[in-house]
Chains A and B, each alone.
Chain A
Amino acid sequence: MAASGEVLAAGAERAAGERRKRHSTPLVSDSGMPPAPAAAHVGPKARLTTQSAEPTRSTQQAEQAEKAQPAAALDSPAAARARARPHRPVPSGTPTAPASATAVDAVERERRPRPLLGGLASAGEATVTPLPRERSRRSSTGSVRVGAPQRRSRNVGRSTTGAGKTVSPVSADGRTTRLSAVGAAAPAGAQASGPASKAVALDDAPATVGAPAPLGPSLPTPPTRGMRGDRTGTAYRSPSSGISHSAESAEITASLLAAALTQQELTPHVEDVVAAIVGVLRTVAAASGLGADEVEQAVARALAFIRRRLTGDYSVDVFGLDPDYIEHIFLPIMRLLYKQWFRVEVRGIENIPADGSALIVANHSGTIALDSHMVQVAIHDEHPARRHLRLLGADLVFRTPVLGSLARKQGATLAASSDAERLLSSGEIVGVFPEGFKGVGKPFSERYKLQRFGRGGFVSAAIRTGSPIIPCSIVGAEETYPLIGDVKVLARLFGAPYFPVTPTWPLLGPLGLLPLPSKWIIEFGQPVDTAKYGPVGADDPMLVFDLTDQVRETIQQSLYSLLMQRRSVFS
């Protein structure tokens, strides 16, 4: 026992010593002290190494160099020569010696992924010094083309030479523009393809004219310079280059044509296809007795909408409101219901302010909450300022797939005081249905009887932001889907607040989803001012309850008076 106690004591002693030593060793180098010895000292013992970032970087560079080396050695003698030199420079546009230039070029070429079809590689990729293979291919395509275009050349050529004769050798650029003008105006433009593309091709061509002076006379030059828009070629065209010379003018015409042709060959003629389709469309529209212009515009709008949706080229606000969707999908569909089906009559639209915030409080009914959308259409279409109503929805709406994302798209957000106040303080019109599901899902026998108005959260939001409350009564929505039964079991199964049974649903299947065509009246009442209470009023529960009651009574009274005025449900 004593022996083991000694051992333990010795161990404890040793451990204490270690800890002391550890605490005295500097882990981070002091600014004055050189870091190397500290690192050497600490390194093995404490499993900590102090090192600056510099070594890592240099090793990285070395690794990169190593990696680059085998890639460069792709067994071409030129590359081998390049490797033989002690330090291979980074391939650059201005090599020092011609030999090394080819070597670098070879290496560069080997590295670059070779295009599948060289001929269709984009113009930007073409090297300044074309490889023999590429050049021969280009010239061959040129010669293939020569047969067909020669005939066309007569027209263009005539006009070109005509222009060339009148021009003085000094105004090289002036000639360019005139040439293009002639090309566009000449009847030859209408010959085979769209006149626009030809004009562009001709416009680009003169830049090619100057550049290829040293090349053979019959060989059309690769049009790389002209196509890249590299206008430096004009610098070659000194007055002494003899543009007006007749022998050379033929050559110019030939190369110009070749350039134009290659250009045409490379640009897809989408315009032609579209023009043909539009022509067919207009003919069909005219044949079926519709206005050709209107049909064309409608189709163009629809296509533009689809393009925006496919590319994501539209914006949503922070709540998820998608103006593009509202304008082109939501409102047109709802307008059909609004005008043709329910024939909505709007009263008191002047009670809604043209700018600034307002809270619209309405009764909720109709099994499926169509009434909220009808109020949206009413305010958007009937109000001169064409304002968009922002609805507040229950969290169940946003939890439900499809419904939730559609609700967000058309500008609805969660019925919580934070969101309501955020919208109201940014000057929006906010719509709220305080009855919630109790109102929508109430049986037909209780129609037009307002349910409990929640906890009055909407009133305190209005008071806090000083927004007027506008009571809104909707008559007609109760009769769209008369709810005569509620299957509680199915409702629980789907997690819904109710499962409706109407005279047509689920008896007639999907046909039961069609609302009955009742006649609707939407009346906006006199605004209730809340600004006079100040933001502190929102924390006064008595005031909030009083206002809630007042708004509820107003809506109920105007509902009764509207029902008295109504002659029948459907007219």
Chain B
Amino acid sequence: MADVVLVTGVSRYLGGRFAAALSKDSSIERVIGVDVVPPPHSIGRAEFVRADIRNPMIGRIITQAKVDTVVHMSVLATPTSAGGRVSQKEINVIGTMQLLAACHKAPTVKRLVVKSTSAIYGSSSRDPAMFTEDTGPKMMPTSGFGKDSVEVEGYVRAFARRRPDAEISMLRFANVIGPSIKTAMTDYFSLPVLPVPLGYDARLQFLHEDDAIAALVLAVRGPAIQIVNIAGDGVITLTQAAAMVGRPLVPVPFGAAYLGALVRRAGLADFSTDQLSFLSFGRGLDTTRMREVMHFSPRQTTREAFADFADHVPPVVPGADAAFSLLTRTAGGVLQTASGLAGSIGRLRQVVS
């Protein structure tokens, strides 16, 4: 059972919410949040320590506070939030290296919880319909977040070898979505029109942000689970998702690479090529292990999670809905007046004759 929990990346949305959720549990003595900038949101009774996980200083924090559970949530998905791809990679890869080195040296650390991603499975036409935890990627992610995450998982495996006494829980999340979180996916679905690869209809799987927090809390409090896929039930296709957010699709030919360049150059959404092949082929996760070993079941299905996001996404043209209802009402009013007029003319005729 966790006594002192260290959370990295606490100033980011999920990290902050997780720290706040964890601090509601009175059986946990202390929650220490670490990040390079102060959290813009409440993190409950968690203590914020300004530190960079790329700096060996993190080791001293772990030793001094006698941290027994480390939750690593500081793997950035988008270069913009880190200030460029180089810095993103450094935070993700070097940060994880330093953090795990510090955990290795600290005898108090008993458990490591890592927020990983399903992006490590890549996305290609040769993928099986559902990835189990022991299926390797058919095509390794070649860039960005996916590649970083593969490396992060490599370091975690090395840590598990060197510290066999420590428990590992690595959670591979499907795309987290919800009314408040901001990711490359939410940016994409907020575009006025959605450019999609022509002739493909990806299967997408989502996890609601509340379920993501619940899964992480369970990973800290419950038994250790090694590697597990976390995703909402079912899949929706990209076409369905676009219909749900009320965006028209613009099929772009010449494959995903061209589309990626287009979207990136236009500065519309922060998309790596991996995420674009994801838009062509999608991905499905097998969640048997999540249910049977971790005993976790997400409250919301993929469709419900996406619908929750779609309800909160701003309309394409501000006031488009209002304009539409105005139009129908005016039409109804005109029709009403017309029929009323016709009726009165009819009766006038009756009176006259």
Contacts and interface: CB of A to CB of B under 8 A. Distances in A.
A27 B234 contact: no
Contacts of A151: 344, 347
Interface in B151-203: 197-201, 203
B329 A318 contact: no
A48 B47 CA distance: 13
Given A53-B47, A148-B344, A319-B129, A405 B65 contact: no
A214 to B, nearest CB: 30
Contacts of B332: 265-270
A524 B347 CA distance: 74
B339 interface: yes
Interface string A499-514: 0000000000000000
Interface in B305-353: 319, 322, 325-326, 328-333, 335-336, 339-344, 347
A31 interface: yes
Interface in B267-324: 281, 284, 303, 319, 322
Given A151-B344, A264-B336, A419-B130, 18 more contacts: A23-B60, A27-B61, A31-B30, A52-B48, A56-B40, A116-B326, A120-B330, A268-B331, A268-B332, A310-B243, A315-B303, A316-B235, A320-B237, A395-B125, A401-B197, A401-B199, A402-B199, A418-B132
Nearest to B62: A28
Interface stretch (A92-100, A366-374, A406-414): A406-414
A311 interface: yes
Interface stretch (B49-57, B88-96, B104-112, B222-230): B49-57
A291 B210 CA distance: 54
| A interface residue count range (under 10 / 10 to 19 / 20 to 34 / 35 or more) | 35 or more
A93 B15 CA distance: 37
Given A28-B64, A51-B38, A192 B47 contact: no
A117 B340 contact: no
A462 B29 CA distance: 54
Nearest to A50: B49
A398 B139 CA distance: 15
Given A53-B39, A312-B240, A26 B44 contact: no
Nearest to A117: B326
A567 interface: no
Contacts of A268: 328-329, 331-332, 335
A53 B42 contact: yes
A116 B322 CA distance: 10
Interface in A7-66: 23, 26-31, 35, 46, 48-53, 56-57, 60
Contacts of B70: none
Given A50-B47, A318-B284, A269 B336 contact: yes
A318 B239 contact: no
B64 A422 contact: no
A314 B129 contact: no
Nearest to A416: B128
Interface string A309-332: 111111111111010000000000
A46 B49 CA distance: 12
Contacts, number: 171
A152 interface: yes
Given A148-B344, A312-B236, A316-B237, A409 B201 contact: yes
* Nearest 4 pairs of A and B residues by beta carbon: A401-B199, A312-B243, A268-B332, A312-B240
Nearest to B330: A120
Contact of A120 (B199, B326, B335): B326
A320 B203 contact: yes
A151 to B, nearest CB: 6
A148 B236 contact: no
Contact of B57 (A27, A30, A60, A270): A27
Interface string A282-299: 000000000000000000
Interface in B22-60: 29-30, 32-33, 38-40, 42-51, 57, 60
A401 B197 CA distance: 9
Interface in A402-448: 402-405, 408-409, 413-414, 416, 418-419, 422
Contacts of A270: 328, 332
A400 to B, nearest CB: 8
Contacts of B265: none
A191 interface: yes
B203 A316 contact: yes
Contacts of A35: 47
A133 interface: no
B241 interface: yes
A272 interface: yes
A193 interface: yes
Contacts of B30: 31
A414 B131 CA distance: 13
A67 interface: no
Given A28-B47, A56-B38, A315-B234, A120 B340 contact: no
A77 interface: no
B133 interface: no
A149 interface: yes
Contacts of B241: 312
Contacts of B335: 268-269, 272-273
6 contacts: A28-B64, A53-B43, A116-B322, A268-B331, A316-B236, A404-B200
